[in-house]
Amino acid sequence: MITGGTALQQSTEERTGANPIRKVVTMLQNMQKQVEEEGEREKKLYEKFMCYCQSGGKELEASISGAENKVSTLPAEITAAEEKLVQLKDDIKQHQIDRAAAKSAMSKATALRNKEAAEFAKLKAEADANMLAVAKAIIALEKGLGAGFLQTRAAQDLRTFVMNKADVDDVDRQILVSFLAANGGEASPGTDQIVGMLKQMEASMKSVLSDGMKEEEAAIDAYKKLMDSKKQEVEALTESISEKMQIVGELAVDIIEMKEDLTDTEAQLMKDQEFLKNLDSSCETKTKEWAERSKTRAEELTALSETIKILNDDDALDLFKKTLPSGSASLVQLGQSAFLLKRKALGLVRGAWRVSDSYHRPKLDFLVLALTGKKALSQGTFDKVIKLCDSMVAELKQEQQDDYDKKEYCEAQFDLADDKKKSLQRTEKDADNAIAKAKEAIETLSDEIDALEKGIKELDKSVVEATEQRQEENQEFKDLMAADTKAKEILKFARQRLNQFYNPKLALAQSDAARQAVMMDVGFHSHGGAAPGPPPETWDAYAKKSEDSNSVVAMMDVLIADLDKEMTEAKMEEENGQKDYETMMSESAAKRTEDSKALSGKMEAKADAEKMLSTQTEVKKDTNEELWATIKYIESLHHECDWLLKFFDTRKTARTGEIDALTKAKEVLSGAD
């Protein structure tokens, strides 16, 4: 059979009796893991270094300058943000404490109000019953029906009230009790005196009830005011907690971003500075260093692995078990002889110990030791143990309140961070869509701009060609008009010359100057000399070929008419050609203006699309960085909160058991059964 002391010793050994060789092996394994992780990190750094060696350090100086500026300013920003974060968390904690206090005050006030309301209701019911009995007695006595009233239940209740609770003089109480105790008969000669006493009692009860109602109304009003005030306080604190938790989540993400940025910047700065000092030889040196480090690390891992193998050998483990002391060898042996009271309290405390086994509480160990020590055998020495129980109960309650507050904080931060993560993912998706649309728009607008520019060039070319053609046609028109006009003048002169011979009257209509001009043009000249005398008469008068000349003149008229017709048609063609040219120029100018305006609009739209592409690319980059930081913050929340959220109910149940066990132990030590 295992005694209580032995059970306690076994429980303690389970927690503290770890094999020292196992600790050594665990430490070696941790060292092995750490060496491997360091090797992986250094391998990445070496590969990055070699990559840089190949690409060169053209931008090292600019990078170093920017990094130095950032390194000089970021720590102050991080410190300020962390101080603000600590202050916000302290504020949230204080708000939670104040809110819990306000809720506790509301609960206490409600309990007190319910108690006062019940007392007033009881008081009012009794007062109403007593006043009704007094009223019935007064009516019966005034009507001379006192004997009948004394036989009623109301008379018995009134008698009881007068004897026990009525606020009257002892002499008057005796008279009233004697009257109400009578068993019959008409009203005694002292009826008027009795009625007067009863009316005085009735007035007194009404006054007391009125005062009680006023006090009740005042208490209700005070309760409402207190509840309204506390409710507003709770709502304000809850709102402040929510707002500050929102800020805490955002600020925590910002701090992570800044710290990561600072760490990356510092690491990059150190590498850049080192590279800049001796870039030519550093690559070769780094390769040799890496080979040496890899060799040394391999030797270290081999040494650790072989050492672990040696210590884990079955023969070695058996030898260690025989030679090395166990972890529980130094525990104080628990005594089994104690007073019944101490043993009962000790059993309760051990029960709390078993409840809290999932998370070791040193004070329970101290309490067990205090109850098992020799000094605990005296009843008078239990005061310190009782105080320790009170202290532990208060500590457990505070721990539970801390868990409530931490749980509220964690749940709120998870909600806020998850909402922010989803929002950032939507923003990232929107940025991707905007980038795709911008690229598509840029491609489409580029094609449209090329088409418009090509169209404008072709339009300008067609305008030049049309202008050249119009100039050629106009010149041909002018040449034609000049030639036709000259031909008409020659034909008219020839016709005039024939008319001078065959139709002199018609020929006289023309001027000498015109004739001379035409004659000069066509090569007719007059010859000077003295006119001969009249010839001798030889034959009859000459017969003119008038009819033939008429045919020739008619032919000339036809030719002149043809020239006129040709000139008229040429004028019309010239006018139409000029109108068509002007119309084309007007339409071409309008088309060019329209296309130029469209081209300008397309180029502006393309510029806007390119700007949008740049902006959304930057938005996506910033969003990715913030999303990464938010995810890191959520991971940190998981590290901080998952254990508490998973074991919250278990811890709460355990604490409740501990508090119950400690309370009962305290009661037992205080003398309770």
Cβ–Cβ < 8 Å for 382, 672:
no
- Residues 291/292/294/299 CA torsion (nearest 10 deg): 140
CA distance 451 to 488: 54
**274, two tokens:** 């080192």
**536, two tokens:** 């001798």
116-130, 154-168, 336-350, 455-469: least confidently modelled range: 336-350
**255, two tokens:** 């701090």
* Residue % of the chain over a pLDDT of 90: 8
In this predicted structure, the answer to whether residue 550 has a pLDDT above a threshold of 50 is yes
Confidence (pLDDT) at 435? 92
Per-residue pLDDT, averaged over 603-618, amounts to 89
In this predicted structure, the answer to whether residue 165 has a pLDDT above a threshold of 80 is no
Confidence (pLDDT) at 440? 92
46-60, 242-256, 285-299, 340-354: least confidently modelled range: 340-354
* Burial (CB count within 10 angstroms: exposed 0-12, middle 13-18, buried 19+), residue 615: middle
In this predicted structure, the answer to whether residue 336 has a pLDDT above a threshold of 50 is no
Closest CA to 494 of 439, 559, 429: 559
Which range in 347-351, 500-504, 659-663, 668-672 is most confidently predicted, on average pLDDT? 659-663
CA distance 289 to 286: 5
Confidence (pLDDT) at 386? 77
Confidence (pLDDT) at 145? 61
Q: List, as one string, the DSSP characters of 105-139.
A: HHHHHHHHHHHHHHHHHHHHHHHHHHHHHHHHHHH
Query: Which pairs from 416-420 meet CB under 8 Å and 24+ separation?
Result: 416/245, 416/246, 416/249, 416/250, 417/249, 417/253, 417/630, 417/633, 417/634, 417/637, 418/634, 420/249, 420/250, 420/253, 420/630
Confidence (pLDDT) at 172? 67
In this predicted structure, the answer to whether residue 375 has a pLDDT above a threshold of 60 is no
In this predicted structure, the answer to whether residue 671 has a pLDDT above a threshold of 70 is no
Confidence (pLDDT) at 6? 36
245 or 550, which is more confident?
Answer: 245
Q: What is the pLDDT of residues 211-248, one digit of tens each?
A: 888 988 999 999 899 999 989 999 999 999 888 888 88
366 or 81, which is more confident?
Answer: 81
CA distance 570 to 575: 8
Query: Which pairs from 94-100 meet CB under 8 Å and 24+ separation?
Result: 95/237, 95/240, 95/241, 95/244, 96/237, 96/241, 96/405, 96/408, 98/233, 98/237, 99/233, 99/234, 99/237, 99/238, 99/241, 100/401
E strands in 576-634: none
In this predicted structure, the answer to whether residue 631 has a pLDDT above a threshold of 70 is yes
CA distance 141 to 179: 11
Could you tell me the CA-to-CA distances from 518 to 495, 515, 561 in Å, in that order?
A: 12, 5, 20
In this predicted structure, the answer to whether residue 127 has a pLDDT above a threshold of 90 is no
| pLDDT category of residue 292 using cuts at 50, 70 and 90 | confident
Confidence (pLDDT) at 508? 61
Confidence (pLDDT) at 527? 41
Residue whose tokens read 């100039």: 471
In this predicted structure, the answer to whether residue 450 has a pLDDT above a threshold of 80 is yes
Which range in 314-318, 323-327, 426-430 is most confidently predicted, on average pLDDT? 426-430
Domain ranges within the chain, ordered by starting residue: 99-261
* Residue % of the chain over a pLDDT of 70: 71
CA distance 211 to 200: 16
Q: What is the pLDDT of residues 11-45, one digit of tens each?
A: 334 433 446 667 777 877 888 788 888 888 888 88
CA distance 207 to 16: 74
The mean pLDDT of the chain is: 76
309-313, 475-479, 504-508, 663-667: least confidently modelled range: 504-508
Would the pTM count as exceeding 0.85?
Answer: no
Confidence (pLDDT) at 497? 72
| pLDDT category of residue 347 using cuts at 50, 70 and 90 | low
Could you tell me the CA-to-CA distances from 122 to 126, 153, 267 in Å, in that order?
A: 6, 20, 80
35 or 479, which is more confident?
Answer: 479
